[in-house]
A and B are shown apart, each in its own frame.
Chain A
């Protein structure tokens, strides 16, 4: 006797009850991305001059800095959810999958933290 087929092992167990949360968050962050990316693209067009002084002055403004920090959060969150699905779809070996998800968490939380810190440093007038 084996352990049955993969579908036979899960048949009758019902839903995992963690899908809708992921699904909804993907959409909530998508809405955030639409709003905030529209702001970023319009801002880039309005900027015209992409020199350090001009861009730093624009991003130091409280409204720009807040919007950029929110954009970083929304983008990284959305990207983490999307890459998680990519890993779950194509990486089938349990140990490799665990490692890939762990690396994904490190990369997205680390990247997001760096992005937020950079905007904050600029806005609070660090060495820029």
Chain B
């Protein structure tokens, strides 16, 4: 690549919620693609391989580090879900007014954290 200037010039813009929700969408999506699918496939493979392989999976994912990964994946899922639903609305041409756009850019990641907490509350308190 030659040293011609590239657009967009990321460093000249002040951060706004729409930029945060955009990069969160990419980060959570690619994070789940790399880590989440590995966990899913390991889970299914361990189930099919029998109780011993499954016990190994349970021991690793039930450890503090494993639980951190699972909670992180669930947060990534709900964050990606909410920003994805926001994208569906934007896709039909709605929600581009500055106030509306800011509102849902702020609301999406917050709703995602609430959903993550609610999911684990139901799982652990059941």
A: residues with CB less than 8 A from B are 5-6, 27, 30, 34, 37, 41, 44-45, 48, 50, 52-53, 55-56, 59, 68, 72, 75-76, 79, 82-83, 86, 92, 111, 114-115, 117-119, 121-122, 126-128
Beta-carbon contact of B29 and A82 below 8 Å:
yes
Across the interface, A68 reaches (CB within 8 A) one of B44, B81, B91, namely B44
A126 to B44 CA separation, bound complex (whole angstroms)? 14
Residues of A within 8 A of B84 (CB): 30, 34
Check if B14 is an interface residue, CB within 8 A of chain A: no
Determine the distance from Cα of A21 to Cα of B81 in the docked complex, in whole angstroms.
22
Q: Pick the contact of B30 from A30, A82, A92 — CB < 8 Å?
A: A82
Would A86 and B41 count as touching, CB distance under 8 A?
no
Residue B10 CB within 8 A of the other chain? no
List chain B residues, Cβ under 8 A from A59.
Answer: 47
- Which residues of B sit under 8 angstroms from A5, Cβ to Cβ? 4
Which residues on B sit within 8 Å (CB–CB) of A41?
A: 119
19 contacts between A and B (CB under 8 A): A27-B88, A30-B84, A34-B81, A45-B119, A45-B122, A45-B126, A59-B47, A68-B44, A79-B29, A82-B29, A82-B30, A82-B33, A111-B41, A114-B41, A114-B44, A122-B47, A127-B49, A127-B50, A128-B48
Q: Which residue of B lies closest to A56 (CB)?
A: B47
Q: How far is the CB of B23 from chain A (nearest CB, A)?
A: 12
| Given A119-B48, A126-B48, A92-B81 contact (CB < 8 Å) | no
Q: Do residues B48 and A37 form an inter-chain contact, with CB atoms below 8 A?
A: no
Segment at the interface with A among B51-59, B96-104, B105-113: B51-59
B24-41 vs A, Cβ < 8 Å mask (1 yes, 0 no): 001001101110011011
Known: A44-B123, A50-B58. A75 touches B40 (CB 8 A): yes
Chain A's closest residue to B62 (CB) is: A50
Bound together, the chains give a CA A40 to CA B119 distance in angstroms of: 12
